[in-house]
């Protein structure tokens, strides 16, 4: 079974400061990892993903994340926070279901990012 742990349900930063949202996973097989963002009363938007290849992945809106197998982590960062970054962020991992081919996302509990002026 695979699981995702997001450390910190709420992170608050000042505008212009570094954003760091933590995600650790447990998996018996190499996972695919995702970060999604959700604005209030909206669905989820994919920020970035890691499947294979380069471990540092760049996403939209200036976000990036690094897959560290030794630390089983996939932390999300952005060098300089903007007010528009305030949202809920979810880390997710793919796990196969019993059918084998229908990969299903397992989500972390989410981290609410607030950006202070």
Interface residues toward other proteins, by CB under 8 A: 32, 36, 41-46, 49, 51, 90, 94, 97, 99, 101-105, 107-110, 112
CA 112, 66, 38 angle in degrees (round to 5)? 25
Instruction: Select 7 or 18, whichever has its Cβ closest to other proteins.
Output: 7
- The distance of closest approach from Cβ of residue 69 to other proteins in the complex, given in angstroms and rounded to an integer, is 19
Q: Long-range CB contacts (< 8 A, 24+ apart) of 82-87?
A: 82/15, 82/115, 83/15, 83/115, 83/117, 85/19, 85/61, 85/113, 85/115, 86/113, 86/114, 86/115, 87/37, 87/38, 87/39, 87/40, 87/112, 87/113
- The distance of closest approach from Cβ of residue 94 to other proteins in the complex, given in angstroms and rounded to an integer, is 5
Instruction: Select 28 or 98, whichever has its Cβ closest to other proteins.
Output: 98
- The distance of closest approach from Cβ of residue 83 to other proteins in the complex, given in angstroms and rounded to an integer, is 21
Instruction: Select 45 or 80, whichever has its Cβ closest to other proteins.
Output: 45
Collapsing DSSP states into helix, strand and coil, what is residue 50? strand
- The distance of closest approach from Cβ of residue 42 to other proteins in the complex, given in angstroms and rounded to an integer, is 5
Instruction: Select 86 or 112, whichever has its Cβ closest to other proteins.
Output: 112
């Amino acid at each position: 079974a695979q699981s995702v742990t997001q450390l910190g349900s709420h992170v608050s930063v000042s505008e212009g400061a570094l954003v760091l949202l933590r995600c650790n996973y447990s998996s018996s097989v190499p996972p695919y990892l995702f970060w999604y963002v959700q604005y209030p009363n909206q669905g989820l938007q994919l920020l970035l993903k890691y499947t294979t290849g380069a471990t540092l992945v760049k996403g939209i809106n200036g976000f990036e994340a690094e897959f560290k197998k030794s630390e089983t982590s996939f932390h999300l960062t952005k060098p300089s926070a903007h007010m528009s970054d305030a949202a809920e962020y979810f880390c997710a991992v793919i796990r196969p279901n019993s059918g084998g081919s229908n990969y299903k996302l397992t989500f972390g509990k989410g981290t609410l990012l607030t950006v202070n002026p």
